[in-house]
Amino acid sequence: MNRSKTLFTEAKEILPGGVNSPVRAFSRVGGEPVYFNRGKGAYLFDEDGKAYIDYIGSWGPMIAGHAHPEVISAVQQAAENGLGFGAPTENETTLAKKIRQHMPTMELMRMVNSGTEATMSALRVARGFTGRDKIVKFEGCYHGHSDGLLVKAGSGALTLGEPDSAGVPLPIAEQTLTLAFNDIDALKTLFSSTGEQIAAVIVEPVAGNMGMVLPLPGFLAGLKQICEDYGALLIFDEVMTGFRVGLQGAQGLFSIQPDLTTLGKVIGGGLPVGAFGGRREVMECVAPLGPVYQAGTLSGNPLAMASGIATMSIIEQPDFFPDLEAKTSDFMQRLEVLASDRRVPLATTSLGGMFGFFFSNDKPISNFTQVLNSNTENFNTFFHHMLAAGVNLAPSPFESGFVSGAHTEREFSATLTAADSAFKNI
């Protein structure tokens, strides 16, 4: 009995590709998605009752583990008081204060409902504050699906951007310039010719959407300096890394103070929350204080705030991140040893509760070109072997993996046993 197959066939008749977000359709890895109907701790359970050790965690939010009792209880209590009032509530301030306690660069911030809304709004604020139109992003970094960010490099890195999706008007794409991640010289060259027109540089401080790629030493500091030199704003898109790579995010790990930060995922604990914020003088541009308009019916929703506050309270426990960092790093090191013993080239990375791996001889992988040269066929073979063994990995080589507070040695050793068997098939 494969109830997932039946459900997917039914879904494809009414949802594009049968999904509400493309990566879930298994287009990168082939085959068909598994339908889950329950999660608990480190596990998801499919429609036929099969258990999977989960390393997607709803793409990052489930850092406390699925259905954590404290999070569920907080959401239940909030729900009993109603689902939304369309008016300010105390918990919006409470969550904002929790965020700022760990990310003091977010002096003023606004809640939204997704990472896309957060980055789209941050770009508008940067343009409104600087009066400039151009934006710089990096190849392989993903910042959600707003028009100005679905852009790829033009024919030459210094030329105007081209749409990376149908439906994005060329004039909008041309305002976004795309460079190679970790190439600070290319950024200096671009700014020397165009710097006065650039409103902001947006970057995933640790790239998580081309697989996981760390910044090279000096890259982030170089971004910060160049932005300062030319009066552009530095936007850290920490939708994925925020409260995932550490309690202070990537900005704390790398001691960089961005002008604006965008957040999502963990701060909602699984419910729809995003946030953008930063320097007070910049954020005072935002309506109703200033001329940059931004709004949202469900922004600051009581259930989402309750879920975010409960999740933050769990990860603020003194031993949460030291334990998460240690077990995730140990997991990746053991995976790399197993691959090496089986003569399978594998490069792994981890920071906090975030990890990535590439089937590649390159070590480290530091840019999108190297990512594209990794062996995606090996990834697909590995992915399907692991899924059959009850291990749920991201269905794409260009994603990252996530460990929760609920993952224990029991899960890691079962995962590594399955991985060793998979490596024998590669």
> What's the min distance (Å) between Cβ of 59 and ligand KE4?
4
- Quick one: 382 or 398, whose CB is closer to ligand KE4? 398
* DSSP H stretches of helix in 107-258: 115-130, 170-173, 184-194, 219-230, 249-253
Q: Residue 297 and residue 288: Cα distance in Å, rounded?
A: 15
Helices then strands, each counted (H, E), the chain: 14, 16
Q: Does 351 bind ligand KE4 (CB under 6 A)?
A: no
Q: Which position among 237, 259, 325, 411 is part of the footprint of ligand KE4 (CB under 6 A)?
A: 237
Q: Does 142 bind ligand KE4 (CB under 6 A)?
A: yes
Q: Are the C-beta atoms of residues 407 and 327 closer than 8 Å to each other?
A: yes
In eight-state DSSP terms, residue 207 is B
- Choose, from 52, 55, 142, 183, the residue flagged as catalytic: 142
Q: Are the C-beta atoms of residues 418 and 339 closer than 8 Å to each other?
A: no
Q: Which position among 208, 222, 270, 308 is part of the footprint of ligand KE4 (CB under 6 A)?
A: 208
- Choose, from 98, 137, 265, 327, the residue flagged as catalytic: 265
Determine the residue type at 315.
I
Q: Map the footprint of ligand KE4 across residues 394-413, applying CB under 6 A.
A: 399
Q: Does 36 bind ligand KE4 (CB under 6 A)?
A: no
Q: E-strand spans in 292-346?
A: none
Q: Which position among 71, 99, 200, 240 is part of the footprint of ligand KE4 (CB under 6 A)?
A: 240
Q: Are the C-beta atoms of residues 271 and 293 closer than 8 Å to each other?
A: no
Q: Map the footprint of ligand KE4 across residues 242-271, applying CB under 6 A.
A: 264
- Quick one: 237 or 325, whose CB is closer to ligand KE4? 237
* DSSP H stretches of helix in 155-279: 170-173, 184-194, 219-230, 249-253
Return the number of other C-beta atoms located less than 10 Å from residue 143's C-beta: 27
Q: Does 239 bind ligand KE4 (CB under 6 A)?
A: yes
Q: Residue 107 and residue 222: Cα distance in Å, rounded?
A: 23
Known catalytic residue at 230: no
Q: Residue 130 and residue 279: Cα distance in Å, rounded?
A: 13
The 355-394 site mask, x for binding ligand KE4 (CB under 6 A), equals ----------------------------------------
Known catalytic residue at 98: no
Q: How many residues bind ligand KE4 (CB under 6 A)?
A: 19
Using the rule CB under 6 A, give the single segment among 28-36, 234-242, 408-416, 417-425 that binds ligand KE4: 234-242
Known catalytic residue at 265: yes
Nearest Cα residue to 358 out of 330, 400, 412, 419: 400
Q: Which position among 4, 91, 114, 378 is part of the footprint of ligand KE4 (CB under 6 A)?
A: 114
Query: Applying CB under 6 A, which residues contact ligand KE4?
Result: 21, 23, 59, 114-116, 119, 142-144, 204, 208-209, 237, 239-240, 264, 274, 399
